Structure 1
Amino acid sequence: MDRKQHIAIFTTASLPWMTGTAVNPLFRAAYLSKDGVRKVTLGIPWLTLKDQELVYPRNITFRTPSELEGYVRHWLEDRTGFKPTFDIRFYPAKFSIDKRSILPVGDISEIIPYEEADVAVLEEPEHLTWYHHGKRWKIKFRLVIGVIHTNYLEYVKREKNGQLQAFLLKYLNTWVVGIYCHRVIRLSGATQDYPNSIICNVHGVNPKFLDIGKNLEENHGQKPFTRDAYYIGKMIWSKGYKELLKLLRDHHKELSVLKVDLYGSGEDSDQVEEAAKEIGEFVNVHPGRDHADPLFHDYKVFLNPSTTDVVCTTTAEALAMGKFVICADHPSNEFFKQFPNCRTYSDPKGFVNETLRALSEEPSELNSTQRHELSWEAATERFLRAAQLDQPLKKLDSAASMKNFASTSFSMRSGVEEASAYIHNLASGFEISRRAFGAIPGSLKPDEELSKELGLATPTAQKQGSSTTD
């Protein structure tokens, strides 16, 4: 009997942590389910109160998963203007302080029953599978799509022994993504390459920013830009602050007419503020705030020299609001080059020239085609094409497709992959080997606190159940 295709999206973060993997998969779920053609479930991590206090900003915490779900849905409805119909399910997770990341606990594929296991979308598949121990994604789901969000190699290179770490991480990522994903979408060429992958920006812009841009264009003659330039982003050196402050310090004479404001909060906030003071009064540092805040409407130029992003969300938001964007000529910015207000540079002289040129000109108004390209409607269309999900459901349900995804082939390639998956499953099943590769202690199975909060069988109950059947 015909039924709706089910897409299960798993991501590595949740609001109110305003990181890319908390926001973008949320919009993806909303727009994939908007037309009612398919059933969509979003799987997001649930943290205990102790971990919530380490991750979520402004002391926001939640006592129950339903309370967090209410927060997430309200935030999304406020920005999309419609009531999304997708389901939200929580998987157990813990926060890794040293990695500054949320990592899954146990076999998170279990939140989707077998009868719904059509398509899995793993947002940050390497992150979700480094320590995965349980059902093999390719066996449980007919199709597994990985969306590569993060340039992990670039971040690791900036750490101690960075080159060696990046070398090892590159092969680890290739290994786990190959084991668990049928298809891979890279948001830009800034990520590491994967076999049989496709480069496609499948992210859109929060519709609120497109509305802001349209309103500002309509009222531009009445209210011109009154501020020069700004940058907004998590205040850590690797997010472009080091590069930007160096450019401003080295060329402060040429840019003497420029006033720059930096907005952000993060581990390096104090150091960034001290470095900015040394440059002079034309650079000021402020706490982080929502990019949609009316304060930012007055700025004409968005400066973003970061090269660690894969596709920078704030760059897309600035373009949507009708601002000039000055960014590096880098693979992460390739998608943005189609917009006339995006100005790229390849050296410090180019940065100075493009910045001064932007200050002396007026941004172009976005036409309907450009506005659509930035939208989540267009991003969803690109995602469906890149994932080859714009095909009828019956093609996924056919016996031939099932055979391709099942572990029944004796071909050389299949045999090697089976052996590789077995080794990973074996290594991820022991606390000692998990810890050796950086897993959070006690993350093989949910502990009693996580189990209780998510309504799972507690470890104590599991032991009692097993003893009665022995």
Structure 2
Amino acid sequence: MINLGMETTRPSAAASSGTAEKAFSFLSKGWREVRDSAGADLKLMRARANSFKDLADRELENFLNSASAFSAPPLPPAEGAIAEIEFVKRIQPKLSEIRRAYSSPDFSRKVLERWSPKATIRIDLSAIKNAIVSEADVAGGFLDFRIEGVQGRRKVRWKGWESEGEEEEKEEWEPIRMLKTGLKEIERKSQSTDIFGNFAGSELVEKLKLSLRSISKEPQECKEILPLDLPELLAYFVKQSGPLFDQLGIRRDICDKIVEVLCSKQKDYLVSHSLSASEESLLRNENINDELDLRIASVLQSTGHHYDGGLWNDAAKHESTDKKRHVAIVTTASLPWMTGTAVNPLFRAAYLARTAKQNVTLMVPWLCKSDQELVYPNSMTFNSPEEQEAYIRNWLEERVGFKADFKISFYPGKFAKERRSIIPAGDTSQFISRKEADIAILEEPEHLNWYHHGKRWTDTFNHVVGVVHTNYLEYIKREKNGAIQAFFVKHINNLIARAYCHKVLRLSAATQDLPKSVICNVHGVNPKFLKVGEKIAAERERGEQAFSKGAYFLGKMVWAKGYRELIDLLAKHKNDLEDFKLDIYGNGEDSHEVQSAARKLDLNLNFLKGRDHADDSLHGYKVFINPSVSDVLCTATAEALAMGKFVICTDHPSNDFFRSFPNCLTYKTTEDFVARVKEAMASEPQPLTPEERYHLSWEAATQRFMEYSELDKVLSSDSNVSREGANPKNIMKKSVSMPNLSGMVDGGLAFAHYCLTGNEILRLATGAIPGSRDYDKQHCIDLHLLPPQVQNPVYGW
């Protein structure tokens, strides 16, 4: 339609007439050119039809001649040849008749007339001319170009405003009409027979009907979904601004209350104007937030809008080419450094790969020899990654008792002496091949991404899970100007968790409350410790003395690992624990200071060299003491419980997981500590039950990890299958229909972090290792890598 009724001023008669004449001349000239072109095409089609006819005549003549040649063969022909000749003789009269028919001029003329357009097509251009210059028509009317008639004759018709409301019935698309007719026929048969008894009214038929209605939706149906009003837009903006309000300190329940106030008065209106009757019945028990989401989605779908990505994120994700999914576990340490981030991810990789449901790759840092001498115990070094990989696999198989089938890969890392930690060098994500970039498990995601300058993990991987191991804020507060540093690190950690992870698992409530996080202990105990516990329980059943020693403490000898709290407790109650003796096993940077402080206070402490907790010399101790408040989840505590020992620890969130074990004795005050020590030294620990042993095992830890990280849903092939009674959100996929403001905020934070970590001055000011934005020459030699300038060239003029 061309609407000419919106003009508010009328041009002069002369101007209107001149314009009309020019328009009429232009249209006439154009139509003559189209007609001439159509005539030339028609002549060409006729010429080609004549050539095809001549070719068919020749081929038929050859066919008949060859059939006649076979009519009198010199030798008796086979039965097949005789049948073929008889067939040709029978059809020869009919072929001659057909040949005469299509050779006639009338036949060619009729065929060409049916397949070609009309030689002359008339269009009434005078109507256009009259409409332009007509004063009455300009005042209130519009042109209506329509195709009418069976042969597609085109007409230009002028309609007044009085006929604007008349809507002609839209013809339905032929395939859809035929499919609907078929479904109606099946339903009719199902009512009269028992064969289709279970088919009519089934979920499949109803969904197919709904799909057909959506495909062939009439314009009137689209008009039923009214546009969004201002309260709805404000409510959705407040709802999607949750991440921003979290950073500003505004509680989430306040945001929910604002949304409810904005939309509560229109709740019935939303349901009645946005959803069908079936969807409305499903939403009767839903809250206003779900109804608002579906309202927004329905409006966007009615406009045909489809959201494929955001401002910052990459919509293209990896899709696995084989049947198995790929899990990449990235950690910040490696054996032989006996730290939690080296041991626990190694066990996680082994037990995830043991199920054989997914391929697993463990990524660990590779240190140059100069850094290896500073980190690994007893000056142990490796000449190649293959040599270190062999050491790791031998250590693991000796403890788990089975051959773990997973891949070990290395990425460049550098050791920070001041922080006693390994910092990734370069973009860690680039060392995971594209076909394996499916699911990522970031052990210590904040540590891995403090100085990460590369691709965003959530853009590279389909699902990213972060596991928080360390309470960094507690360590930082002990340093100079620790309160200020902790303030900035807290917000940086929030940014990293929000920008680079889909889900974050905190081992205990001792860590900071990160976005997208849940609390769950997903670590287990080395099977070797559980076997020691079973052995000690068997000895006690036979009446043998299982524990021949008293109490001990084991841990890296740095003040933050609980040595300060331990010395203060023993010094304050020195007289109450006069006969109490404690053996301490550990090595570390603060060894000299810790031992000097104990000697000055004349404490009854026996300092011994650090060793593996599974060492036979430690099996005879009955009591393990751990006063640390900086741990997130002490691995040594879990190992001591697995061996059937008493554990005395502080009443702290890091020990919440151990409270359910009867051998775990917690204290709140220093007086409670003395009472717990005397109680443990005077009694015997209870043997672990099978349920308690399983609760400590890596099998149970892996099951908890799969559940709380939502990895079981991601890996399950049935995760996208609709189930009876599913949430109404499954009716309409909002994530595909509309942008998510929270995702846009996360992408913006990731982009800002990328820009900040790309500046070397800012990196050095925040404590990064110089030159750690890219790996160095020695890493290229050890890991057989191309130089960074070749991997990521900088183009210039």
- The bucket for the TM-score relative to the shorter chain is over 0.9
* Structure 2 residue 326 is matched with structure 1 residue 6: yes
Distance, in Å, in 2 between the alignment partners of 1:44 and 1:350 is: 42
Deviations 1:228-256 (A, max 9, x none): 11000000111111111111111122112
Aligned to 1:331: 653
Distance, in Å, in 2 between the alignment partners of 1:64 and 1:327 is: 41
Is the 1:5–1:393 contact (alpha carbons within 8 Å) kept by the matching residues of 2? no
* Partner AA of 1:437 in structure 2: T
Matches within 5 A, 1:407-446: 410-446=739-775
Is the 2:446–2:496 contact (alpha carbons within 8 Å) kept by the matching residues of 1? yes
Deviations 1:115-146 (A, max 9, x none): 22111000000000111111110011000000
Aligned to 1:61: 381
Given the alignment, which residue of 34, 42, 47 partners 2:367? 47
* Partner AA of 1:208 in structure 2: K
| The structure with more radius of gyration | 2
3-state secondary structure, aligned to 1:93: strand
* Partner AA of 2:712 in structure 1: D
Distance, in Å, in 1 between the alignment partners of 2:735 and 2:773 is: 26
- 1:405 Cα deviation from its structure 2 partner: 9.2
* Structure 2 residue 358 is matched with structure 1 residue 29: no
Distance, in Å, in 2 between the alignment partners of 1:46 and 1:229 is: 38
* Partner AA of 1:301 in structure 2: V
Aligned to 1:153: 473
- 1:219 Cα deviation from its structure 2 partner: 1.3
Given the alignment, which residue of 757, 778, 783 partners 1:454? 783
* Structure 2 residue 705 is matched with structure 1 residue 383: yes
Is the 2:667–2:673 contact (alpha carbons within 8 Å) kept by the matching residues of 1? yes
Matches within 5 A, 1:252-263: 252-263=574-585
* Partner AA of 1:37 in structure 2: K
Distance, in Å, in 2 between the alignment partners of 1:460 and 1:2 is: 34
3-state secondary structure, aligned to 2:458: helix
3-state secondary structure, aligned to 1:338: coil
Given the alignment, which residue of 565, 570, 576 partners 1:248? 570
- 1:279 Cα deviation from its structure 2 partner: 4.0
Flag the 1:217–1:448 CA change in 2: closer, same or farther, 3 A: same
Given the alignment, which residue of 445, 448, 453 partners 1:125? 445
Aligned to 1:95: 415
Is the 1:452–1:458 contact (alpha carbons within 8 Å) kept by the matching residues of 2? no
- 1:466 Cα deviation from its structure 2 partner: 7.2
Is the 1:202–1:382 contact (alpha carbons within 8 Å) kept by the matching residues of 2? yes
* Partner AA of 1:20 in structure 2: G
Distance, in Å, in 1 between the alignment partners of 2:718 and 2:761 is: 43
Normalising by the residue count of structure 1, what TM-score does the alignment of the two structures yield? 0.95
- 1:76 Cα deviation from its structure 2 partner: 0.3
Is the 2:649–2:667 contact (alpha carbons within 8 Å) kept by the matching residues of 1? yes
Matches within 5 A, 1:266-415: 266-280=588-602, 282-391=604-713, 392-394=715-717, 410-415=739-744
- 1:409 Cα deviation from its structure 2 partner: 6.4
Gaps of 5+ in 1: none
* Structure 2 residue 455 is matched with structure 1 residue 135: yes
* Structure 2 residue 474 is matched with structure 1 residue 163: no
- 1:225 Cα deviation from its structure 2 partner: 1.8
Is the 2:497–2:515 contact (alpha carbons within 8 Å) kept by the matching residues of 1? no
Flag the 1:434–1:169 CA change in 2: closer, same or farther, 3 A: same
Aligned to 1:72: 392
- Structure having greater relative contact order (Cα 8 Å, sep ≥ 6): 1
- 1:416 Cα deviation from its structure 2 partner: 2.0
* Partner AA of 1:147 in structure 2: V
Is the 1:143–1:405 contact (alpha carbons within 8 Å) kept by the matching residues of 2? no
Distance, in Å, in 1 between the alignment partners of 2:636 and 2:557 is: 14
Deviations 1:239-288 (A, max 9, x none): 11111111111112211232111110001111111222234463211111
- 1:430 Cα deviation from its structure 2 partner: 2.1
Runs of 4+ in structure 1 off by over 6 angstroms are: 395-398, 403-406
* Structure 2 residue 108 is matched with structure 1 residue 108: no
Distance, in Å, in 1 between the alignment partners of 2:322 and 2:375 is: 43
* Partner AA of 1:151 in structure 2: N
Q: Which moved more, 1:387-396 or 1:176-185?
A: 387-396
Distance, in Å, in 2 between the alignment partners of 1:413 and 1:377 is: 35
Distance, in Å, in 1 between the alignment partners of 2:745 and 2:393 is: 43
* Partner AA of 1:426 in structure 2: C
Is the 2:359–2:406 contact (alpha carbons within 8 Å) kept by the matching residues of 1? yes
Deviations 1:369-415 (A, max 9, x none): 000011111100000001111224446799x99x9999x96433222
Distance, in Å, in 1 between the alignment partners of 2:701 and 2:745 is: 35
3-state secondary structure, aligned to 2:596: helix
Distance, in Å, in 2 between the alignment partners of 1:413 and 1:126 is: 20
Deviations 1:11-63 (A, max 9, x none): 00000110100000000000011121111100000010011111111010001
Gaps of 5+ in 2: 1-320, 722-728
Aligned length in residues: 465
3-state secondary structure, aligned to 2:408: strand
Is the 2:458–2:500 contact (alpha carbons within 8 Å) kept by the matching residues of 1? yes
3-state secondary structure, aligned to 2:786: coil
Is the 2:758–2:773 contact (alpha carbons within 8 Å) kept by the matching residues of 1? yes
Is the 1:322–1:366 contact (alpha carbons within 8 Å) kept by the matching residues of 2? yes
- 1:4 Cα deviation from its structure 2 partner: 1.1
Deviations 1:406-448 (A, max 9, x none): 9x96433222222221111111112122212221111111111
Distance, in Å, in 1 between the alignment partners of 2:589 and 2:461 is: 39
- 1:80 Cα deviation from its structure 2 partner: 0.5
Distance, in Å, in 1 between the alignment partners of 2:566 and 2:766 is: 34
Distance, in Å, in 2 between the alignment partners of 1:397 and 1:66 is: 41
Aligned to 2:111: none
- 1:217 Cα deviation from its structure 2 partner: 1.3
Flag the 1:466–1:405 CA change in 2: closer, same or farther, 3 A: farther
Distance, in Å, in 2 between the alignment partners of 1:130 and 1:2 is: 34
Aligned to 1:226: 548
Q: Which moved more, 1:253-262 or 1:312-321?
A: 253-262
Aligned to 2:67: none
Is the 2:574–2:603 contact (alpha carbons within 8 Å) kept by the matching residues of 1? no
Aligned to 1:216: 536
* Partner AA of 1:290 in structure 2: D
Matches within 5 A, 1:81-92: 81-92=401-412
- 1:194 Cα deviation from its structure 2 partner: 1.2
Flag the 1:455–1:405 CA change in 2: closer, same or farther, 3 A: farther
3-state secondary structure, aligned to 1:325: strand
Aligned to 2:118: none
Q: Percent identity?
A: 53
3-state secondary structure, aligned to 2:619: helix
Flag the 1:405–1:154 CA change in 2: closer, same or farther, 3 A: farther
Is the 1:92–1:446 contact (alpha carbons within 8 Å) kept by the matching residues of 2? yes
Deviations 1:338-377 (A, max 9, x none): 1100000001000000110011110000000000011111
* Partner AA of 2:555 in structure 1: G
3-state secondary structure, aligned to 2:448: helix
Given the alignment, which residue of 508, 516, 526 partners 1:196? 516
CA RMSD between the two structures = 2.2
Deviations 1:64-107 (A, max 9, x none): 00000000000000110111001000001100111111010111
Distance, in Å, in 2 between the alignment partners of 1:466 and 1:2 is: 35
- 1:297 Cα deviation from its structure 2 partner: 1.2
Distance, in Å, in 2 between the alignment partners of 1:115 and 1:301 is: 49
Distance, in Å, in 1 between the alignment partners of 2:787 and 2:546 is: 60
Is the 1:248–1:279 contact (alpha carbons within 8 Å) kept by the matching residues of 2? no
Flag the 1:397–1:105 CA change in 2: closer, same or farther, 3 A: farther
